[in-house]
Amino acid sequence: MATRSKSSQRWLKEHFSDPFVKKAQAEGLRSRAAYKLEELLERDRLIKPGMTIVDLGAAPGGWSQMARKVMGDRGRVIALDILDMPPIAGVEFIHGDFREESVLSDLERLVGDKPVDLVLSDMAPNMSGVGTVDQARAMYLSELARDFAEAHLRKGGDFLIKLFQGEGFDAYVKDLRPRYQKLTIRKPAASRRRSNEVYALAAGKR
């Protein structure tokens, strides 16, 4: 059996001692990421019963689970991820790569003609370890998510997306601002401090 690298051992130690990981396990949530969304929900009241929500990059399901919990039995949660995701009651799931036209078409068919109230994107590329490559891949996914929100959000709808600070970040934020009434950058407590991830909340699609 191959031994784990020191960085891998350090990550595992950090992961399993993480209070948000422990809390997620205790409360039956699929990932610590659910608490990032929970904090944003508490601050910004993004989700209401009866909404139609699209969750991009949903696996393992923490955000979809939290959205369904907040909405109760009313409304729709449509989730998509390149990774498979065990079923969640009340969540419609598409297993596929968001970068592929056929997968995007499947998602658009499932959404139908009804405008979406909220688009969530916690997407991230598979990290290669090469910073410039990973940042470019992350920004490409962010652009696809922005374009999907532009096409499918109702007027006044909201878009919440994970972004990685680096090349292209400032230009992306600048491009997003005029599309929405308000844009806020958040760093939830459950987001690890050393991570360069932040969340952009674009509220009130124009």
Decide: 171 and 200 in contact? Cβ < 8 Å: no
Please confirm, yes or no, whether 162 is among the known catalytic residues. yes
**DSSP, res 5:** P
Residue keyed to tokens 């191959």? 2
Strand locations in 46-189, DSSP E?
A: 52-56, 76-81, 91-95, 116-121, 153-164, 180-186
State the Cα–Cα distance between residues 156 and 145, nearest whole angstrom. Answer: 17
Q: Which residue out of 48, 162, 187, 205 is catalytically annotated?
A: 162
Assigned token pair, 203:
């509220």
Residues found in the chain: 206
Residue 63, annotated ligand binder?
yes
Residue 113, annotated ligand binder?
no
State the Cα–Cα distance between residues 150 and 32, nearest whole angstrom. Answer: 28
Residue 81, annotated ligand binder?
yes
Residue 73, annotated ligand binder?
no
State the Cα–Cα distance between residues 143 and 149, nearest whole angstrom. Answer: 10
Decide: 200 and 160 in contact? Cβ < 8 Å: yes
Residues assigned a catalytic role: 162
Which residues are part of a known binding site?
61, 63, 81, 97, 122
Residue numbers in the known binding site for S-adenosyl-L-methionine are 61, 63, 81, 97, 122
